[in-house]
Structures are given as structure tokens and as C-alpha cells.
Structure 1
Amino acid sequence: MAELSILELGRVREGFTRTDALNEARRLAQHAESWGYKRFWVAEHHNMPTVTTAATSLVISHIAAGTKTLRVGAGGIMLPNHAPYVIAEQFGTLEALYPGRIDLGLGRAPGTDQLTLRALRVHPEESERFPQDVVELQMWLGPVKEGQRIEAVPGSNSNVPLWILGSSLFGAHLAAELSLPYGFASHFAPQALDEALAVYRSRFKPNEKMAKPYALIGANIIAADTDEEARYLATSQQMSFANLVRGERKLTQPPIDDIDTYWSPMEKARAAAMLEVAIIGSRDTVKRGIDKLLARTNADEIMVVSDMYDPEKRLHSFEIIAEVMGAKNLSHA
């Protein structure tokens, strides 16, 4: 059975604060640890009022400090926004604080709009250097070589595990070439999922650190005690995607009875395309959906997005998912 993990954006709910969102993320991670989830990643996004994980390394530390065994990391750091040397220092520090628990997933998208890129002092063409920047980052995180005059401290000799993340064939080719694990963003850009996995696996170059490919996929999974309740809870996420299509900047909204009263047919179609890899329902429905997705992709790991408004319902969703996936160390086992 595939491993099970969580992707967290620290979403701010209507009527609540950013502090609430960050503390709810930490609380979720603590429960996830007891339910057998393998890793808990947060993603770098900028200028998004509903997302609180822009200072990604700080949020990772907040989560890791509240857990003991869960792997915590970036899903991902948008490397073109940063000097690889600085990221090596940040994640080397995290590794020093939480040894053996830190992951570093890397993306080449900016994680924001072009106007915000200017505020970040980043030129759009920086993404063209992504492969070279990944290799440079590996160097800073690796052993210090004789005569090396610049060292990332902390960072050097930490060997923080790197992942290549993406939603196109570019990342699949790069992960295969560099012999790194690969995460595909099928939770919001699923169109190239099957082709990207095929490219990654067929072109993967084994080495002494990684003998075979390892593929992680994102999936939107919302579970509840009944199919009807799950569909109701899922409307919060569906409204968020409709707002994204509209270019509206709203916080996470409470669920509604009929989502078709909220979005237009065009918005529904565009949101549905982004939410193609979505499983919504009761335990049995979720189990069937996960089995079908794994049969299709043969993924080594599923990284779950389960966005909803009520934090208690959200915790229950993640617990149900752990149950149907047979995760170890369940709190009631």
C-alpha cells in the first residue's frame, strides 16, 4: 500500500485569524503523527490572503516543534525566488534542529503573480536556471570539498533530502536525470499526470543513493461519515477554486447546500478540470476512489489535500483517510 502524507497551506477561514490558521496546521500535524501519516509538507505561495505558508521555513519549524517523528518539509520551496545558498542555510538549520525529519521539495514556478514577483525582486527568467540551481543547492547541502572557501553553515554535510515537484513533463525529466524523488501536483494541475509519471519512471537514472524511482502524487480527498455530508463539506474547496477562476481573493468560506448556486457553468468546468483528482465521500467511497487512483498511477505515496471550513470535520476527514489506507499507529488501535 502507498504511503500517506499531507499537504498544508495554512488556509485562513472566514471569521478567523492567520494565527488560528497556523495553529490549526500544527494541531493537524500532531494528529497526523498519531494516525500514521509519513510526512507533512507546507507550500510557498505569496500574496494570497487565505494562505499563511509564505515564510515556508518558519512554518516548517512551527510544525516540527510540535511533533516528534513526523517528517516535515516544503512542498515546495519555489527555488527561483531564492538564492540556493540561502535555502541551504535555512534547511540546514531546520535539519540541525529536527535531525532526520526535514524534506525539501523544489518547484520552479514562482508561486505567485508577476506583480508580486517584482516585490520579491525576482526576474521571471530566473526559472530558466532551475536545473542549475538544484545542482548548486545539492552542493551546498553536501560535504565540504578541499579548498572550498564558501560553506553553508548550517547546511553543509546535512544532506537534506531533495525532491523535484511539478505539474508538467519538465520536472519529470529533471527528477529522472538527477535521480531524485518526484512529486506531481495533481491536486490542482492533473492534466499531465499519467504522462509525467511514465516519463519519470522510464528515464530514471539509478545511483548509489536512489536505486529506483519514487513517485508522489497530490490528491484532493474529503471524507465524512456519509457521501452526502462529504459533498456538502467539499463545497468550501469548490468555492475556493471558483474564486481562483474569478480572480477573487476570499478567505475559506463555510460550506453551502448547493454549489451550483455559487458558480457559473464556465467556472464549474474550469474548477472541475483542476479538481479532476478528487475523491469525496464516505469511508467506502473514499476507499474505492483511492484504490482506483493507485491502480491508475501505481504511486508510491499519496499527499492528501483535504480543505474544508470546519477544523474538527477536517481532522475527522484525515482520520477516516488514514483508516481506509491502513495507516499504522492509529490512536484508537
Structure 2
Amino acid sequence: MSTIQQCKFSILELAPIHDHGTAQQALHQALDLAQHAEKWGYHRFWIAEHHNMSGIASSATSVLLGYLAANTTTLRLGSGGIMLPNHAPLVVAEQFGTLATLYPNRIDLGLGRAPGTDPTTMRALRRGRQETEDQFPHDVLEILNYFDDAKPRQQIVATPGEGTHVPVYLLGSSLFSAQLAARLGLPYAFASHFAPRMMMQAIQLYRENFQASDDLEKPYVILGVPSLVADSDEEAEYLATTIYQRILGLIRGQSIKLKPPIESMHGLWNEAEKNTVHNFLGVAKFGSPHTVKQQLIEFLNVTQADELIFTCDVYAPEARLRSFELLKQLQD
């Protein structure tokens, strides 16, 4: 049974931009959070790839990872994830092979099947490449091959990349990647931080069909969890209005830059929008340390997750740092 002390705690960062802030500030705050996460003992720190979103500064994921790695010393860093349809597998292998060569035993590569953006931007990223559902497994295998030791007469070698054996994780919000991760014997991360509906079905499918590989003997499940820990439940609910406004902007197709917390969401959303936001946050853990700890204990009893990777998009940087500090202390 996975307990709160046994479970690994990690952070998923999107480098959120404030309503009156800049991308530069968001990137510097990402580093500040990573440095604190290293000090507090978080297991890993992942960056998510998104494009053409005014409120997210983590589009050049591998570049940002290099900045974070150069200014930390022990923290595991990686992508959560690289959206593989946007990239040639060789380029991904070379980028992460370079990171792994510069920062050995610290770099992860999480791979997603979605483009992480809208159709117009997707076409701009792909530059005419046509992806099919069958292409993703092929691309994953190609990357794994590049990270392996080079074979005799191998025509294409990732340099750097060859022989680095960068750990690869498959990410998903449906059942497709769960099945593929099980078949390839790879660790699996479910995007329950924004799409929790199929979480339990995906976990069950992955665990029941898992085939051991050279890199992984048994299933390894990571779950995304929106989090917000404050000194009281009331303060947490107040700070959470920033998160509610951000998701409301997302579903309306408006700006998702972080907005200051407000006393009440009443009048800002209709009942259907309120339900959509709360469904989006279906596995969120918001509240005081006592409240969140009880929520996490119940969540782990049900899911038996090996690792939880937390998001937290509150407005004030100091409140976000405080939330992650209090969260990690729940394992003491």
C-alpha cells in the first residue's frame, strides 16, 4: 500500500505569466521554485510544453530545462511533457541527449501524444508533417533506440544522445498511452491535473497489461494533482479563485494569465461553467495542511500511485512557494 510518506512528491511547472507580468519574470520564478524544490527535497521538477498561450512561458521546454539544470545541482529535471507530434524524434533525442550529457543522471524525457495547442498553431509547428495515431508508438521506439547504445552499421546516431539511456515516461489523459506504456514496459504519468475522468480506468489498464522491460520491472504510476496548501481552509479557498479564473479563461478561449484572487466567484461564472471548472479540478487538493493531508491519504488509498506531481497556480509568488513548502512538510 502506498502511503503519503512512501509516495514521491514532484512538481509540474508551466511558468505561468501574471496579468501584469512578463515571460521573463515567469521564467525567473520557475527557477526560484526549482531551487526551493531542490532544498525541500522534491523528487523531480518537470516542465510542460504548450504553444501560443499568453499565460504560459514554457514553450521552449528543453531550453528552459537547460537554464534550470545550470542553476540547480541535484534536482531531477524533465519534460512533462514534450509533445512528440510537434517534433522530429531525432531532434528530441539530440536535445535531451545533450542535457543528459551535461547533467548526468538528472534528466527525464516525458512524452505526450497531443500537440498541446490549437490546430492553427499545430500546423505552424509541424510545417506540413502529417501525424497519425500509429506514428506516436513508432516515434517513441525511435527515440528509445537513439538513447540506447549504437548498433553496428547504425546509419543515424544521436550525438549527443547515444548511450545516455535517458529515462522515458509516457504521458496521457486517455487510455492510448496507458496501453502503450504497459506494452513497452515504461513508467506512465496520467494527466489527472486537468483531465481526471478516465484516471482509474487508465491506471487499471496499465497495471493489468504491464510487461516488464530492461528498464522497469513493475508498473510505475505518476498522477498529476492540482494543489494549494495555505494556513487555513478559508485562505486556500480565497487563493484558489486565481486558479478558477485561469480555467474559466481557458474554457472561454480568453487569456489564461494569472489574475489576483477575489472574494467570490459569484457573478463571474454561470452554473455550467462552474461545473466545468470543478470537473477540470476533479482531483484537486486545496486547503489547510490538515485538510490536504487527509485528502492525499484518501487519494493514495484509492489510486496507490507511486508518485504525485503537483501543480499550483496561485497569484503571489511567495504564496506559491509557501504552498509547496507546506505540501512537502506533509510527508514529515
TM range (shorter): over 0.9
**Structure-2 residue corresponding to 1:186:** 192
Assess if the C-alpha contact under 8 Å between 1:81 and 1:122 holds in 2: no
SS in 2 for 1:260: coil
**Structure-2 residue corresponding to 1:329:** none
Name the amino acid aligned to 2:104: P
Question: Is the counterpart of residue 202 in structure 1 residue 203 in structure 2?
Answer: no
Q: What do the CA deviations read for 1:159-203 (whole angstroms, capped 9, x no partner)?
A: 100000001110110000000000000000000000000000000
SS in 2 for 1:191: helix
Find 1:113's aligned residue among 114, 118, 123.
Answer: 118
Separation in structure 1 between the aligned mates of residue 51 and residue 151 of structure 2, nearest angstrom: 36
Of the structure 1 ranges 48-57 and 255-264, higher mean CA displacement relative to structure 2 is found in 255-264
Closer/same/farther in 2, CA of residues 127 and 80 from structure 1, 3 Å limit: farther
**Structure-1 residue corresponding to 2:226:** 220
Question: Is the counterpart of residue 81 in structure 1 residue 86 in structure 2?
Answer: yes
Assess if the C-alpha contact under 8 Å between 1:80 and 1:127 holds in 2: no
Aligned pairs (5 A) from 1:17-56: 17-56=22-61
Separation in structure 2 between the aligned mates of residue 229 and residue 82 of structure 1, nearest angstrom: 42
1:149 shift after superposition: 2.4
Question: Is the counterpart of residue 173 in structure 1 residue 179 in structure 2?
Answer: yes
Q: What do the CA deviations read for 1:195-245 (whole angstroms, capped 9, x no partner)?
A: 000000000001232110000000011000010000111111111111111
**Structure-2 residue corresponding to 1:235:** 241
Separation in structure 1 between the aligned mates of residue 177 and residue 240 of structure 2, nearest angstrom: 30
Assess if the C-alpha contact under 8 Å between 1:117 and 1:123 holds in 2: no
Name the amino acid aligned to 1:27: D
**Structure-2 residue corresponding to 1:269:** 275
**Structure-1 residue corresponding to 2:96:** 91
SS in 1 for 2:110: strand
For these two proteins, the number of residue pairs brought into alignment is: 326
1:122 shift after superposition: 4.9
**Structure-2 residue corresponding to 1:330:** none
Q: What do the CA deviations read for 1:275-305 (whole angstroms, capped 9, x no partner)?
A: 1011110010010011111111000000000
* TM-score, normalising length: structure 2: 0.96
Assess if the C-alpha contact under 8 Å between 1:95 and 1:101 holds in 2: yes
Name the amino acid aligned to 1:246: R
* TM-score, normalising length: structure 1: 0.96
Name the amino acid aligned to 1:221: S
SS in 2 for 1:172: helix
Assess if the C-alpha contact under 8 Å between 2:184 and 2:213 holds in 1: no
Assess if the C-alpha contact under 8 Å between 2:261 and 2:315 holds in 1: yes
Assess if the C-alpha contact under 8 Å between 2:50 and 2:116 holds in 1: yes
Name the amino acid aligned to 1:269: N
Question: Is the counterpart of residue 59 in structure 1 residue 64 in structure 2?
Answer: yes
Q: Structure 1 runs of 4+ off > 6 angstroms?
A: none
Question: Is the counterpart of residue 307 in structure 1 residue 310 in structure 2?
Answer: no
**Structure-1 residue corresponding to 2:12:** 7
- Gaps of at least 5 residues in structure 2 are 1-5
Assess if the C-alpha contact under 8 Å between 1:88 and 1:137 holds in 2: yes
